[in-house]
C-alpha cells in the first residue's frame, strides 16, 4: 500500500564508505526527487528526474549520484561519505513537475 | 534561488486554541502547498492552493493563496494534541518547474 517507499530507514556508517539508498513509488508518477533535510529541519532539493531523465541537479557534491532505472525507481548512491552528509534524505514523487509531491518516510543517515 | 519566509518558527499553544502561520516570498508562485511532518516520517500534504485568492479548507484547517501570489497562510481551529508537528509551506513557480521551494517550517506544540 505504501505509495513512496525508501530503504533503509536508518543507515549508520563510517566516513569514507560508499552507501546507497533506494526509492520506489507505486503511484504511476512521472517525476521523482531527492530532498535533504538538515538538523534544523530545512528541506532542500538535491535532484529531480522526469521519466528517467535528470531535470534538476542542485549544487550537490558529485559524490552523490542518482540513478533512475525506470520511472518508478530513483536510487541515490553516495561515495566517500563525510560527516556533513549526516541528515535525513527524503525521496518524493509527483505526477508532473507542477503537482504536489508525495514523500517517503525518509532515510536517516549517520556518518561517524 | 527563491526563498520562503515562514513564521512563526515555533508556537506553544493550549489545546482548543486557534493557530495561524504564514509564508511570504519576494517571488510569485503559481501553487502554494502546506505540509505537516510528524517525527520520523515524511511531510504529508494538507492543502494545495492553485489560484490567487483561493481559500480552501480541510477539516479544521483553512489555507489561503494570497492575491499577490507572494504569500499564503494556514489556520488551524480548535487545536488538539495530534496537531503537534512541523508545518511547512511550499511553493511552485509554474508549469514544468519541477522544484518545490520549502519554508523553514513552524514547529507546533499543543499543551493538553
pLDDT digit string, tens, across residues B89-100: 999 887 666 778
Q: What is the pLDDT along chain B (112 residues), one digit of tens a residue?
A: 567 999 999 999 999 999 999 999 999 999 999 999 999 999 999 999 999 999 999 999 999 999 999 999 999 999 999 999 999 999 988 766 677 899 999 999 999 8
pLDDT digit string, tens, across residues A10-37: 999 999 999 999 999 999 999 999 999 9
pLDDT value, residue B86: 97
A interface mutation test: which of B58, B98, B104 has the most A CBs within 10 A? B98
pLDDT digit string, tens, across residues A57-67: 777 899 999 99
* Nearest CA-CA distance, residue A35 and chain B, Å: 10
A interface mutation test: which of B1, B2, B42 has the most A CBs within 10 A? B42
pLDDT over 70 for what percent of chain B? Answer: 94
* Nearest CA-CA distance, residue B104 and chain A, Å: 5
CA-nearest of B75, B68, B58 to B30 is B68
Query: Are A97 and A55 spatial neighbours (Cβ–Cβ below 8 Å)?
Result: yes
Residue A6 pLDDT grade (very low, low, confident, very high; cuts 50, 70, 90): very high
pLDDT value, residue B50: 92
pLDDT value, residue A2: 65
Three-state DSSP class for residue A23: strand
CA-nearest of A48, A47, A81 to A63 is A81
Amino acid at each position: 500500500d505504501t505509495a513512496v517507499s525508501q530503504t533503509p530507514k536508518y543507515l549508520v556508517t563510517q566516513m569514507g564508505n560508499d552507501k546507497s539508498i533506494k526509492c520506489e513509488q507505486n503511484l504511476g508518477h512521472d517525476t521523482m526527487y531527492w530532498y535533504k533535510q538538515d538538523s534544523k529541519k530545512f528541506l532542500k532539493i538535491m535532484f529531480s528526474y522526469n521519466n528517467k531523465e535528470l531535470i534538476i541537479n542542485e549544487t550537490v557534491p558529485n559524490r552523490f549520484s542518482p540513478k533512475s532505472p525506470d520511472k518508478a525507481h530513483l536510487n541515490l548512491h553516495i561515495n566517500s561519505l563525510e560527516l556533513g552528509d549526516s541528515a535525513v534524505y527524503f525521496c518524493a514523487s509527483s505526477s508532473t513537475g507542477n503537482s504536489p509531491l508525495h514523500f517517503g518516510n525518509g532515510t536517516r543517515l549517520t556518518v561517524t | 534561488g527563491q526563498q520562503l519566509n515562514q513564521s512563526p518558527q515555533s508556537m506553544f499553544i493550549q489545546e482548543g486554541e486557534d493557530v495561524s502561520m504564514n509564508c511570504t516570498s519576494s517571488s510569485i508562485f503559481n501553487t502554494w502547498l502546506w505540509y505537516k511532518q510528524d517525527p520520523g516520517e515524511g511531510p504529508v500534504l494538507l492543502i494545495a492552493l492553485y489560484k490567487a485568492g483561493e481559500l480552501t479548507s480541510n477539516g479544521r484547517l483553512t489555507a489561503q493563496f494570497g492575491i499577490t501570489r507572494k504569500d499564503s497562510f494556514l489556520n488551524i481551529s480548535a487545536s488538539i494534541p495530534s496537531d503537534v508537528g512541523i508545518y511547512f509551506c511550499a511553493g511552485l513557480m509554474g508549469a514544468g518547474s519541477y522544484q518545490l521551494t520549502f519554508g523553514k517550517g513552524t514547529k507546533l506544540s499543543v499543551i493538553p
